[in-house]
Amino acid sequence: MTTNKRITLSSDHAAIDLRQVIADHLSTQGWEVVDIGPTSPESTHYPKHGEAAARLVASGDCDLGIILCGTGQGIMMAANKVKGIRCGVCTDAFSARMIRQHNNANMLSLGARVVGEGLALDIVDAFLNADFEGGRHATRVGMIDAIEG
């Protein structure tokens, strides 16, 4: 079980409802949820929301982050441009577990137009209940970090 307890959430307009479901789920599990919006259903631009959440994680303000857009792909691409962020899109619990265990992901991205609420919460739980294994995986993650310079 992870010891991280402060987590940021963000999304674009396509994922506001699913983001709220995840926020409620995390709150009942004792997480301190830093939900940085948006709250309006008006169309917005996913890169700025992905970047904002990523900066909270990269700065250490939050331990982990979960971001969402329609597919999870665009907001993930934006988040991964922030130095120190390792974010993967997951549509299954196995991948969500593995991006923590092997890739030391510090952010998870979900597609609200791809996964339903039940699957999304399974994916979230798999991500949060897994821990980085280190060892040979630390070498490889270090190689990813080195690409950033």
The C-alpha atoms of residue 21 and residue 138 are separated, in whole angstroms, by 33
If the CB atoms of residues 35 and 128 are measured against ligand RB5, the closer one turns out to be 35
The C-alpha atoms of residue 140 and residue 132 are separated, in whole angstroms, by 12
Cis, bond preceding 41 (omega within 30 deg of 0): no
Residue at shortest CB range from ligand RB5: 74
Q: Please report which residue ranges of the chain form alpha helices under DSSP H.
A: 16-28, 46-58, 73-79, 93-101, 117-128, 136-148
**Interface segment toward ligand RB5; rule CB under 6 A; list 55-63, 70-78, 120-128, 129-137:** 70-78
69 is catalytic: yes
46, 55, 64, 109: residue in contact with ligand RB5 (rule CB under 6 A): 46
7, 9, 14, 121: residue in contact with ligand RB5 (rule CB under 6 A): 14
15: which DSSP letter? Answer: G
Site residues for ligand RB5, 89-128, by CB under 6 A, read none
The C-alpha atoms of residue 141 and residue 25 are separated, in whole angstroms, by 30
| Closest separation in Å from C-beta 36 to ligand RB5 | 16
Residues with catalytic function: 69, 102
* Residues in touch with ligand RB5 (CB under 6 A): 12, 14, 46, 69-71, 73-74
